[in-house]
Every structure is written in structure tokens, then in C-alpha cells.
């Protein structure tokens, strides 16, 4: 019985490195690594050893025969990846094994490599993968800093509370908080002064600002960035308990990424199913009294090009309250004749939604493709969304989930167009580095940050070996520099 990877795959390739038969792909050295929704087990090559399941940090891998309910489709999803790609070696090699890449030794450190003092700013996935790399593969001393009182970053405050397996990767990261060569500093605002006390500083501060839509009414009350809604239901300390008003019957979510589906799913969930999760208590109380009956997800493109992953769509469709607005014949053609993401909607009910009528009883999510907002209308707050084609959708709340962008980091250059810090393989200048979304933009999932952080740490070590790191001041007095007694 082969194993299969399921919905919560973080794609950090921990499973790849322990597989004895190279049956999990794409691997980090393959071109499509970081571009697929998840990793996949080849059922014809898997020898059922279970090493991948033991190594998986998010409990995403199970024996294929043990998967039931919404997860029962994942053995087929894993197999489809290999049916669509010729990844087998030539016939001269055993047919049930995949080609191994030649060994690569990208880092060679001198035997007398002196310990480095490195500061890492940010306790999210990018920062923690950098910390892991430094602590496990070098003799560096690391100071880990976060402005929030609780560590975790995106894992703590960005992953939906009904995805507890995904949040479990936080436990993997937390094991480094007590490492003897790490000092954890929480509730601290880091600034340029860190450079004077460390050999190098890695900024892994993410992308926290919403990408603007650039349409009239975007800033009306009742129009919220997705980060505010996600932070609110995850109990982010920057958000007040009453930051999200759920008194409107219809909410429009602009965008079709996984965050958009997370928001739609949480706002239409039965609150009883969220009790006992990491959902903020204040958010749970508001959801119990919520008047929201319908969440409309607006997609600029068709179902074949939606930004969400297949696994996130499957999770939403499995709840049974999903509807496709088939207002455009291109939608029906894509679903009935297409493959991939579009084909997953074949069994989802379709209807021509009458936007002049109030939402029906119950709670549901409506996917409306080929429809972009051109204006949010209202006098003192949002009352409706005017879309392409002149269709007006009455809505008392709008959530803008069209992407994120980074904010300037004091003392570092900043590209306002991309919302990132200009860098070369993570190197801003010798001694100053970036990792994660502030480095590459808001792309990829949790696991993408592992390869990203490795590249950054590699650039740092290259500079250290070449003697390009600046001369730092003595380490003493760091607590005072960081504002701590």
C-alpha cells in the first residue's frame, strides 16, 4: 500500500530527504519545485516504508488505503502527477526508481571557520528556516527577534484555525527556541542598530500590507484588507476584538488565492465546528451572532486559472455549501471541458445568481468568475460592488484579498513597485540579508521559505568565508541596544 500526500502539504521537502527510493517529487533540484500546489508520492515507486510520514512536519502523509471522506481523492491526485509527466529513468535502470540528481556540495566551510553572531528578525517560516539552517549546519550564535510577544509569524497569525495540521509546523520551529546557541528576544522593535552588534543580520519580516486595487471606494468603511480579517480571527495583537463587523448579509471577497478561500470558509462556517480550534475567542463569539449568509468570491479570470490550490478548493467544496455563478458561457465550457482546477467544479451546483434578491437562507459561498470590481459604492460605508459588465452586487462588507506587499525596512533600500527589498540571492549588502516575502515577494507557501532561507544563508556564509563581513562592535550590551533591561 503506497502512501499519499494530502491537503496540508507544506512542500518544505522534509519528506524528500528521507525517502529511500526517491519517489516524492518535485524535489528541490527539479525545475517545477515551488510551482506545484504540493508534493506528490509516486504510487508505483513507493515501498510503503513510512519514512516520509514520520518526517512530515504538518501530518500531511498517510497510507493511501486509510484515507476516507474528503481526503479519499488524494491517492488519485498523487498518481495523476506522474501520469502527466515522464519522470522515470531509462529502461537500463530498475523501472520503479526515479533518476537521482548527482551529488552537490554547494557549501564548503573551512575547518577553522569561526563562529558568527547572526541576528534574525522575524519568527515566521522564513526566519525560522534560516535559524534552523544556521544552528544545524554552522557553529553560529543566533539572536532571534520579533516585535510581537508571541513567536510564529505567518504560522501563528496567518494559517486558518481550521487547519490545525498546518499550524503544527510551529512546533517544529519552536524546538529551536531553547537551543543553547540561540537567544530569543520577543516584544522588541528591531532597527539598524543590530548591524553594529552582529556579524550579519537577516531580515525575514514578511509582506504585511495589502496590495491596492486602485479603484474608487477602496478606502470606504466596510472595505477591509484580508490581512486584517485573517489577523482578527487568529487573535493578532494588532487587531481589536471588534475589528470585523459581521452585520452584513452578503460579503464580497476580491481575489481567488488561498487566503480568499480561507476567509470565505471561516465566515460561512458553522461556529460549532470552530470551537476548540485556535480561533480567537472574540472572533468565535462574533461568528456565533453573525448575520453573514453569503460570501461572494470575485475572480478576474476563469476557473481554469484561479489562484487557489486544488487542495484548498477541495476542502471548500467538501462542505457542500459552494455554488458557481454561471453567468458567463465561458465558465460552463471551462468546467465541463477542462481539466485541473476547473474539472474539480463539475459536481458543484451552478446557478445564475439574481443579485437583486437577498441571499438565501443558510450560509453559502458563491464563486463568480470573469468578474472584476471596478468600484465600491456607498455614501458613508460600502453598500455594493460594481463589477465588469455593469453588474452591481449589493454587499455591506468587502474583503480585499488581491495580494500582499512588503513595507519598507528602516535602513534598507526598498523597491516600491514590487514591495520588496532589492537583493541578490538574499544579499542586500555584505552583512545585511533578507529572506521570505520581503525578499522575493508574496509567493509560495510555507515550505517555499525553506529553499529561500537556504539561499540567503548560503550568501551570508559565502561573504563570511571571503572576509566580506563588516567588523562589528563587542557583543555585550545587546539587551540595552534592543531596549530590554
| pLDDT for the residue 86 | 58
When pLDDT is averaged across residues 417-421 and rounded to a whole number, the result is: 95
| pLDDT for the residue 484 | 45
Mean pLDDT of the chain: 92
Query: Nearest to residue 287, comparing CAs of 161, 178, 379?
Result: 161
Residue 453 has pLDDT above 60, yes or no: yes
| pLDDT for the residue 293 | 97
User: pTM of the prediction?
Assistant: 0.91
| pLDDT for the residue 96 | 58
Domains identified in the chain and CATH numbers: 3-83 (3.30.70.20), 117-208+406-481 (3.40.50.720), 212-403 (3.50.50.60)
Give the model's confidence band at 221: pLDDT under 50 very low, under 70 low, under 90 confident, else very high: very high
| pLDDT for the residue 91 | 39
Residue 473 has pLDDT above 80, yes or no: no
pLDDT in tens, 287-323: 999 999 999 999 999 999 999 999 999 999 999 899 9
Of 100-114, 225-239, 268-282, the least confident: 100-114
pLDDT in tens, 329-383: 999 999 999 877 899 999 999 999 999 999 999 999 999 999 999 999 999 999 9
pLDDT in tens, 131-186: 999 999 999 999 999 999 999 999 999 999 999 999 999 999 999 999 999 999 99
| pLDDT for the residue 472 | 59
Give the model's confidence band at 234: pLDDT under 50 very low, under 70 low, under 90 confident, else very high: very high
Residue 476 has pLDDT above 70, yes or no: no
- How much of the chain exceeds pLDDT 90, in percent? 84
| pLDDT for the residue 267 | 97
Residue 97 has pLDDT above 80, yes or no: no
Amino acid at each position: 500500500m503506497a502512501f499519499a500526500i494530502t491537503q496540508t502539504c507544506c512542500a518544505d521537502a522534509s519528506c524528500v530527504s528521507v525517502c529511500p527510493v526517491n519517489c516524492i517529487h518535485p524535489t528541490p533540484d527539479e525545475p517545477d519545485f515551488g510551482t506545484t500546489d504540493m508534493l506528490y508520492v509516486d504510487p508505483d515507486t513507493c515501498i510503503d516504508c513510512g519514512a516520509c510520514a514520520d518526517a512530515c512536519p504538518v501530518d500531511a502523509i498517510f497510507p493511501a488505503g486509510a484515507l476516507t471522506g474528503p481526503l479519499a481523492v488524494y491517492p488519485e491526485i498523487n498518481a495523476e502527477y506522474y501520469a502527466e509527466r515522464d519522470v522515470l529513468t531509462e529502461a537500463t535502470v530498475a523501472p520503479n526508481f526515479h533518476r537521482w540528481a548527482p551529488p552537490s556540495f554547494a557549501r564548503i566551510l573551512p575547518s577553522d571557520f569561526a563562529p558568527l553572531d547572526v541576528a534574525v528578525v522575524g519568527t515566521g517560516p522564513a526566519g525560522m528556516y534560516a535559524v534552523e539552517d544556521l544552528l544545524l549546519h554552522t557553529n553560529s550564535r543566533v539572536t532571534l527577534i520579533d516585535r510581537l510577544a508571541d513567536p510564529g509569524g505567518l504560522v501563528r497569525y496567518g494559517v486558518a484555525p481550521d487547519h490545525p495540521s498546518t499550524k503544527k509546523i510551529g512546533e517544529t520551529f519552536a524546538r529551536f527556541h531553547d537551543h543553547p546557541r540561540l537567544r530569543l528576544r520577543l516584544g522588541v522593535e528591531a532597527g539598524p542598530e543590530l548591524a553594529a552588534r552582529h556579524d550579519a543580520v537577516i531580515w525575514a519580516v514578511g509582506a504585511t500590507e495589502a496590495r491596492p486595487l486602485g479603484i474608487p471606494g477602496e478606502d470606504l468603511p466596510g472595505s477591509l484588507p484580508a490581512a486584517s480579517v485573517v489577523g482578527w480571527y487568529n487573535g493578532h495583537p494588532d487587531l481589536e476584538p471588534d475589528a470585523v463587523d459581521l452585520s452584513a448579509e452578503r460579503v464580497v471577497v476580491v481575489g481567488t488565492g488561498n487566503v480568499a478561500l480561507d476567509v470565505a470558509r471561516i465566515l460561512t462556517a458553522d461556529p460549532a465546528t470552530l470551537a476548540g480550534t485556535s480561533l480567537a475567542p472574540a472572533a468565535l463569539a462574533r461568528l456565533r451572532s453573525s448575520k453573514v449568509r453569503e460570501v461572494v468570491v470575485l475572480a478576474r479570470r476563469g476557473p481554469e486559472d484561479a489562484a487557489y490550490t486544488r487542495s484548498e478548493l477541495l476542502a471548500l467544496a467538501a462542505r457542500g455549501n459552494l455554488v458557481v455563478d454561471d453567468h458567463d458561457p465561458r465558465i460552463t465550457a471551462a468546467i465541463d471541458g477542462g481539466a485541473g482546477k476547473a474539472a474539480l467544479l463539475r459536481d458543484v451546483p451552478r446557478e445564475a445568481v439574481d443579485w437583486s434578491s437577498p441571499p438565501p437562507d443558510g450560509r453559502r459561498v458563491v464563486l463568480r468568475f470573469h468578474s472584476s470590481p471596478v468600484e465600491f459604492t456607498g455614501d458613508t460605508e460600502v453598500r455594493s460592488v460594481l463589477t465588469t459588465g455593469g453588474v452591481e452586487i449589493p454587499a455591506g462588507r468587502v474583503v480585499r484579498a488581491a495580494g500582499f506587499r512588503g513595507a519598507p525596512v528602516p535602513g534598507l533600500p526598498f523597491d516600491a513597485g514590487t514591495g520588496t527589498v532589492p537583493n541578490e540571492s538574499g544579499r542586500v549588502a555584505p552583512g545585511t540579508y533578507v529572506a521570505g516575502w520581503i525578499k522575493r515577494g508574496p509567493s509560495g507557501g510555507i515550505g517555499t521559505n525553506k529553499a529561500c532561507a537556504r539561499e540567503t544563508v548560503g550568501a551570508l556564509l559565502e561573504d563570511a568565508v571571503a572576509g566580506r563581513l563588516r567588523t562589528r562592535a563587542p557583543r555585550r550590551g545587546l539587551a540595552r541596544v534592543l531596549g530590554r533591561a
